[in-house]
Amino acid sequence: MSVTVRIRKKLSRAFSLELDFETSGGCLGILGRSGSGKSMTLKCLAGIETPDEGHIAVEGRTLFDSAKRVNLRPQERRVGYLFQNYALFPNMTVMENILSPPAAGRGGNGRREAALWIERFGLSGMEDRYPRQLSGGQQQRAALARMLASSPDAALFDEPFSALDSALREYMELQLQELLDTEGPDGAFRNAILVTHNRDEAYRLCPELAVMSGGRIIVKGGSREVFGNPRFVEAARLTGCKNVSPARQISENEVFALDWGLSLRLAGSAEGVTHIGIRAHDFVPADTPRGFNEVRVAVSKRSSEPFEEAVLFTNADAACETERKEIWWKYSKYLKRSLPEKLFLPSEALLPLTDPRA
């Protein structure tokens, strides 16, 4: 069970969408910056936009094929789409929206099923309200209920929680996670694609992750795998790595981080490495000397977050100004510790990266 996408669409003289990927069922997260082509990908899948060429299929059923001149209308695709702006019908109540044509085909049980979705998404008592009478979060929940009530073959989520406050966001994520986990291969969530620029959201909800940049997918794999080995500078930054430095190979498994003035021993080969990264939480206080991968801390800024301390520091032993770029370290407040003189960079925590532009 999968979604297959092999398409090309020229959007401007300088920008084209060029995609070639297949999901393995479940939820695929597409992570990327604004303007990377995430939403356009969903629009092509839903039939709102037409690729210049290529092929789109859901579970072997062709939705678009330029060579065979197949291009099903959106209402024929059995693809649910949660828009960023909700797209509720303004002259219909919540109940009427959920029972509207995109959710048709449920026979006499439609109203009963709609009521279940209304209850599940915390909209009880709002069945007769119009979209203008709802908050942004309530509108989004109504749109989500309408989409899911239609039992689509594929569900497309475009920044589904962007309008919600943090508490409601977490609740809705848990609701969606429960649906993704419990419906199984024969349920309404055989295939789902979620596009976002929120790395935490993608990690929590999506077992599989694709990182998108410039209209192309640059990395794809299991979410843990992609976060653990993003491979490219852009992918590392999009998955939240704050510390990335250009690097020069100095031995088989060692590089010199040019921005930090540090020689660093890697867990694997340094061949082809153009940059090195380390996540802000992966430093270890060097209370016991290690003899390698250590940096003496010169604090430049500190800030206190609700549950963490954030420290920006430079290498106190750097030879010149260009090697004194700031480095992020974050640690739990519950450690209740003073700043160490040195921090250790574990070899297994270092991210060997390449940048095609380097």
The DSSP code for 162 is: T
Of residues 341 and 138, more confidence is placed in: 341
Q: How many Å apart are CA 212 and CA 214, to the nearest integer? A: 7
Cβ distance 127 to 118 under 8 Å? yes
Cβ distance 58 to 191 under 8 Å? yes
Spatial neighbors of 65 by CB under 8 A, at least 6 apart, are 54, 55, 56, 71
Query: Residue 179 has what pLDDT?
Result: 74
The residues spanned by each domain of the chain are: 3-235, 241-353
Average of per-residue pLDDT across 6-17: 95
Type of residue numbered 157: F
Q: Output the six-digit token pair for 235.
A: 């992918």
Q: Output the six-digit token pair for 80.
A: 């649910």
Overall fold of domain 3-235? Rossmann fold (3.40.50)
Query: Residue 180 has what pLDDT?
Result: 76
Query: Residue 311 has what pLDDT?
Result: 95
How far apart, in Å, are the Cα atoms of 46 and each of 9, 49, 150, 151? 15, 8, 14, 15
Query: Residue 310 has what pLDDT?
Result: 94
- Span of 141-150, 201-210, 271-280 with lowest mean pLDDT: 141-150
Q: Is a pLDDT exceeding 50 seen at residue 105? A: no
Query: Residue 37 has what pLDDT?
Result: 94
**Chain CA centroid to CA 267, Å:** 27
Query: Residue 159 has what pLDDT?
Result: 86
Query: Residue 103 has what pLDDT?
Result: 47
Of residues 122 and 168, more confidence is placed in: 122
Q: How confident is residue 109, by pLDDT bands cut at 50, 70 and 90? A: low
| pTM over the 0.75 mark | yes
Q: How confident is residue 358, by pLDDT bands cut at 50, 70 and 90? A: low
pLDDT tens for each residue of 88-97: 999 999 999 9
Q: Output the six-digit token pair for 282.
A: 């992966």
Average of per-residue pLDDT across 260-280: 97
Query: Residue 295 has what pLDDT?
Result: 97
Query: Residue 129 has what pLDDT?
Result: 96
Q: How far apart are the first and last CA of the chain?
A: 39
Query: Residue 106 has what pLDDT?
Result: 47
How far apart, in Å, are the Cα atoms of 335 and each of 11, 285, 304, 338? 50, 11, 14, 9
Q: Is a pLDDT exceeding 90 seen at residue 247? A: yes
In whole numbers, what is the pLDDT of the chain averaged over residues?
90
Query: Residue 184 has what pLDDT?
Result: 44
Query: Residue 24 has what pLDDT?
Result: 85
